[in-house]
Chains A and B, each alone.
Chain A
Amino acid sequence: MFAIAGLVTAVNLIPLGFVLWVAVSSGWDEVVTLVFRPRVAELLVNTIWLEAITLPAAAVLGVGLAWLTERTALPGSRWWSALMVAPLAIPAFVQSYAWNSTVPQLHGLAGAVTIALISYLPFVYLPVAAQLRRLDPALEDGAAVLGKGSSAIFWRVVLPQLRWPVCAGALLVGLHLLGEYGLFVLMRYDTFATAIVDQFESVYNGPAANLLGGVLVLCTAALIGFETLLRGDRRYARLGAGAARQPVQHELGVWFWPALALLALVALLSIGVTLGTLLRWLVMGGAGIWRLDQIGAALWQSVAYAVVGGVITTVLAVPMAWLTVRAPGKVQRLMEAAHLYVGALPGIIVALALVSITVRVALPLYQTAATLVLAYILMFLPRALTGLRSSMAQAPVELERAAQSLGRPPLMAIAQTTMRLSAPGIAASMALVALGIANELTGTLLLAPIGTRTLATKFWALTGELDYVAAAPYAMLMIALSLPLTVLLRRQADRALRA
């Protein structure tokens, strides 16, 4: 276990090594010419605006919507809640494409913020709603007994307890904003990610792209630092088990209709517009756009990469997950951090790292399926690890011991107890990774072997040719593939809080 986890840790250090290499190998003059120039300043300003507007908006909306669906007596709250999570099934670049063709006036910062908000809002909504579900209602009762009105209770009792999920959700949104490529290209809003791909496509693997990548990594670090500051180190844990009781459902009174309208509006903007547009294109295109040979080939490639990547990634995450659960320690903590940090890095950095390394050190591997799968592994290992960790933690260690005392060698004992019991979690992790791979665009564009056409890249090529109608079937297939993801993520958010 330790040896395999160590090996995986070493592989995970590749992107970090790449970033350090960029920092060290670039001469100071080169850094000055390539980094301290108006273009970089412009990208930085763009990025800051994007984050500064989107994050607070996502936090406020996320908390508001979660409170409405979890704590008020609105009819059909379960359905509303499902609708709020549903945008997760639609890749951001598909949202962008749909909006682009429906409301072409919307672009630039306004467009970028709008699409980012509707695409990434669930990242805040999900953990906040999960936390609201498990908050101890006794605390609110206690505050009420102390003479606090319901708005005072919300601000002083409920909201402070949402700090962790809000910060965690906002961080996830912020990281997506830094790493996303397709969304911003279609909204004609330049960020580091779009600039890096541009650079890469025009001059291949130059120092300019690498140094932009370096700046992007610094932005990522700054964002994480900022979130850590905001989050603080106080954890609001529920003290004692307590009897789980149904929380109070507030009556909205005059706010009933406005609240309902807000939910409907969010659902309309985040799902309605895109689905409507897609259906319109599909109807317009008729049977002609279903080029089954091409679609079938793209679907097959997507599914093949997704399944292979999903299985390998999850299997590789098992040793680390087991070590963190069964044998926690200082070294293990460091190893785990090495597994997880790549999740915060924009996918484009992972891609750049692998391009640089294969081109310089292992040219035969450049643009091969193996390298692409390795990129997927690096990008999605954190996802697999967090999922596995919480499901393994549910299996008591006593079972492993019992199996050993009944004559099973250690690895077999683990396989027959802990692994067997976390089978649903393992399957869920595989699915989460597979679905992530199926919709991955940036890394695939940079790393895929010539001739590779996944659903995402084929869709991207067609939108590049402005053939929106022909792109529609690919978008639909990606959404159909992603639907199970939303269900899984929702369940995981609940479980993560319970663990």
Chain B
Amino acid sequence: MSLLSISGVSKRYGSVTALDQATLHVEPGTLTAIVGASGSGKTTLLRLIAGFEMPDQGTITFDALQIAGPLRVVPPHKRGIGLVAQEGALFPHLSVGGNIGFGLESRSDHAAVTALLDAVELDPSIRSRMPHELSGGQQQRVALARALARRPKLMLLDEPFSALDAGLRTNMREMVKRRLQAEGVTGILVTHDQQEALSFADQLAVLEGGQVVQAGSPRELYLQPKTEMLARFLGDALIIDGIAATGEIDTPLGRVRVARATADGPARVMLRPEQVRLVSWSEGTPTAEIVSASFEGPITVVTFRANGGLFTLKVPSADAPVQGRASIVLIGTGHVIPQ
């Protein structure tokens, strides 16, 4: 049974619909990432789960108990759901120890504070420092330790890495993931960074226009998105019109194998750029006429013409063709986007 069930939840602010019949289930012990462009309703969803907003419609059930809905509304402080906010939201008037102690039964539980600092890979000597003396990464670690102090079953992470620089970000993400998994805490991460979402989560949910348009494993969403928007949202995508015949699709790039059989006729197929290779030309293969190649360091953006269509592809610079012709080699299977 799901730990958290969001069923048909809607929320309006005046004339703006932030959430429109959103539905999502989160299994215990898993990590879920909620992604969406700004204004897609992801922050509202998080606030509804935390209890800072009430849904206009629908129910939220947590740990087999309705926490928001017509039956009952449980206030935030009784939900037992942890929260790590965007910039940590550490109490500026309390030291690190004070902040972590805020979540403990006894504020001066020295051993517990030390254990929590240790858990987020911080030196215990940091406990007497004030929040403004910490770096952004340290602040986020303290915020996580503080939230873990309450031993919540569910931890909400509201873009906690967005204020950190790139290298630190990966580091922090890995640490948080390790920690939550080690403690058996279910996690929900809200982010607008697809890369972060793909690498963090067991379950990925994409919000658009206040609805969960697709939820599933990151691999599934990346390789089999339900819509073209979703395909492009999760990464670069080549979306090609072709004709389906006998389980394969004829496209300007050649024949594309598909995982699931599709009815004969026009079909739109998606390939990720890493599935398309441009190799030295040989007779009898699908041919790419290179139009331009723009060097951008590790990758080169190659524009080419194939069977009348014009395509743009990011290719590793090491073997990128810069002019002339190349043969197109397709790897793996394509995905037919439902019309």
Question: Interface of A with B (CB < 8 Å)?
Answer: 396, 398-399, 401-410, 413, 416-417, 420-421
Contacts and interface: CB of A to CB of B under 8 A. Distances in A.
| Residue from B76, B79, B86 having most chain A Cβ neighbours under 10 A | B76
B83 to A, nearest CB: 4
Interface string B84-98: 011101011100000
A403 B75 CA distance: 12
The 7 A-B pairs of least Cβ separation, nearest first, read A398-B89, A405-B83, A404-B76, A406-B103, A402-B89, A398-B85, A404-B77
Given A402-B83, A402-B85, A407 B77 contact: yes
Contacts of A417: 91
A406 B93 CA distance: 16
Contacts, number: 56
Contacts of A399: 89, 91
Contacts of B103: 406-407
B145 to A, nearest CB: 12
B93 A401 contact: no
Chain B interface residue number, banded: 20 to 34
A406 B102 contact: yes
Contacts of A410: 75, 77
Contacts of B51: 404
Nearest to A420: B93
B50 A401 contact: yes
21 contacts: A398-B85, A398-B86, A401-B85, A402-B143, A403-B91, A403-B102, A404-B51, A404-B75, A404-B77, A405-B77, A405-B79, A405-B81, A405-B156, A406-B103, A406-B149, A407-B77, A407-B150, A410-B77, A416-B91, A421-B92, A421-B93
A402 B149 CA distance: 13
A193 B85 CA distance: 55
B147 interface: yes
Given A398-B85, A398-B86, A405 B91 contact: no
B314 interface: no
Contacts of A409: 75, 77
Contacts of B87: 398
A404 B78 CA distance: 9
Given A401-B50, A417-B91, A421-B93, A406 B85 contact: no
Interface centre among A401, A407, A417, A421 (most CB of B within 10 A): A407
Contacts of A413: 77
Interface in B223-260: none
B52 interface: yes
Query: Among the interface residues B86, B93, B156, which one has the most CB atoms of the partner chain A within 10 A?
Result: B93
A405 B76 contact: yes
